[in-house]
Structure 1
Amino acid sequence: MMNLFLSGGGDKEQSEMIDKEFVETLDLTKPMLYIPIAMQGEVPYEGCYKWIHNVFNPLGINEIEMWTDLEAKSLEDLSTFSSIYIGGGNTFNLLNDLRETGFDKILKEYVDNNGIVYGGSAGAIVLGRDILTSSHMDPNHTDLMTFEGLNCFGGYSIWCHYENSSDDSIKEYVNKYGYSVIALPEETGVFLHDGIVRVAGSSPATIFREGDIKVINPDEIVK
């Protein structure tokens, strides 16, 4: 049973509805783990830590631990946390760090063992089928040659910060690679629980498949 929360990005106000639903699933006696490494070189980690507290302290999460180095971490290390929040930034850097440290395998095992994971923007994209949905906004400064994500979301790739102007680019991606896409505006998220994907937030998600586009409103199920 997977418990995944993905958001399209945006600021504290845009993600508030999604954040609240996430918090409702947690054991608040345990700390939340925050992984901001996609922001390396863009925003100081001190600023990331302040931001995550500003978002979740008002919602009842008062204890947050931040990891900026994933070397030598284990599945057992994750057992003390209520959940993992993987933040935004550069998606290529994030996937590269996950692979180089081996944390991608640990994270996948955590998800497969009912761990609760929230991915925002880059953190959402790496949980999808393929991360080239971020290539229009993120430069690839890494040595990555393959772009497979953790593929935790039913075979879908995730497109964040979605606007209607991206439709042609998404159609081109779908036709080129053959992967279906869930496109998320900044005020929209999707939850995966018991194999069911539900849209949340204040705006619809859009599903792109070969030859088909479908708009899914908040609280509706992705079929």
Structure 2
Amino acid sequence: MKQIIAMGGGGFLMEPENPLLDRYILQQSEKERPKICYIGTASGDAQSMIDNFYSFFNEQNCEPSHLALFKPPVRDLESYVLDKDIIYVGGGNTKNLLALWREWGLDEILRKALDQGIVLAGISAGSICWFAEGVTDSYGDELEPLKALGFLKGSNCPHYDGEADRRPTYRKLVDEGILKPGIAADDGAAIHYIDGEMKRIVSSRPDAKGYFVSPGSEEELETYYLGNESKR
């Protein structure tokens, strides 16, 4: 089973007091105590984000680790990555992430990881990267289209409700055929794909949603609020 969980926003990086999405990611591994590895390439391996990752996941039933390409922990990146159960990619500059991954061969390693059943997850840049293309601010102040890895078909837009320009820019790019139709996610929403198909949308906020955007159309998709489980 090939799983990808693409988050529009949220998780320990944006909602440190709200564990719902991160715990959902952990639950998707078949392992009782999964090995989860954070990759912070998009933020330049910012130490503050790495520290926040450990601060949260050290308290969960898992084995956290991280991969920093600016300070590689091992020479054999492939063995290191393929030993994990979950890969969690942080946000930042998607263009730089893709360039560095390709230089190190990490893009092909992650494709092998997906094929081997390792769960791939990520927020913002760590969401866009899995799709064929997306809308990004990697080039500066303006939002622009970007080709990505193509593990998932179509396009992607995170932070759909979190940044004022995201929704109108994404819709314009799709309307004009510059981007393929695709999936947008609010902050706090996560799109769960299994074997390349969207199976479920979950959220850490009651009003966070996912959307299918095509030329001239935006369809709000059914989204399950994970907080409902804690109320049972």
- When normalised by structure 2's length, the TM-score is 0.79
Does the alignment pair 1:219 with 2:218?
Answer: no
| Residues 14, 186 of structure 1: 8 Å contact kept | no
| Residues 204, 216 of structure 1: 8 Å contact kept | yes
| Residues 191, 198 of structure 2: 8 Å contact kept | no
| Residues 8, 161 of structure 1: 8 Å contact kept | yes
Amino acid of the structure 1 residue aligned with 2:224: D
Number of aligned positions between the proteins: 207
SS of corresponding position for 1:5 = strand
Q: How many angstroms does 1:25 deviate by? A: 2.0
Structure 1 residues 212 and 116: alpha-carbon distance in aligned structure 2, compared to 1, 3 A threshold: same
Structure 1 residues 168 and 21: alpha-carbon distance in aligned structure 2, compared to 1, 3 A threshold: same
Which of 149, 157, 167 is the matching residue for 1:159?
157
| Residues 89, 121 of structure 1: 8 Å contact kept | yes
| Residues 155, 179 of structure 2: 8 Å contact kept | no
Amino acid of the structure 2 residue aligned with 1:31: K
* Residues 125-172 of structure 1, C-alpha deviations (whole Å, 9 max, x = no match): 1111114x01xx3326xxxxx94211122x122111112843321122
| Residues 26, 34 of structure 2: 8 Å contact kept | no
Structure 1 residues 178 and 48: alpha-carbon distance in aligned structure 2, compared to 1, 3 A threshold: closer
Structure 1 residues 7 and 83: alpha-carbon distance in aligned structure 2, compared to 1, 3 A threshold: same
Larger mean CA deviation between 103-112 and 15-24 belongs to 15-24
SS of corresponding position for 1:48 = helix
SS of corresponding position for 2:59 = helix
* Residues 78-126 of structure 1, C-alpha deviations (whole Å, 9 max, x = no match): 2321211111111111111111111111111211222211111111111
SS of corresponding position for 2:190 = strand
Structure 1 residues 72 and 103: alpha-carbon distance in aligned structure 2, compared to 1, 3 A threshold: farther
Structure 1 residues 82 and 215: alpha-carbon distance in aligned structure 2, compared to 1, 3 A threshold: same
- When normalised by structure 1's length, the TM-score is 0.82
Structure 1 residues 16 and 29: alpha-carbon distance in aligned structure 2, compared to 1, 3 A threshold: closer
Q: How many angstroms does 1:178 deviate by? A: 4.2
Question: Which ranges in structure 2 are unaligned for 5 or more consecutive residues?
Answer: 226-232
Question: Which ranges in structure 1 are unaligned for 5 or more consecutive residues?
Answer: 141-145
* Residues 29-88 of structure 1, C-alpha deviations (whole Å, 9 max, x = no match): 442111111111xx732x122110233233323x32111126954543323212111111
> Counterpart in 1 of 2:36?
32
Q: How many angstroms does 1:28 deviate by? A: 4.3
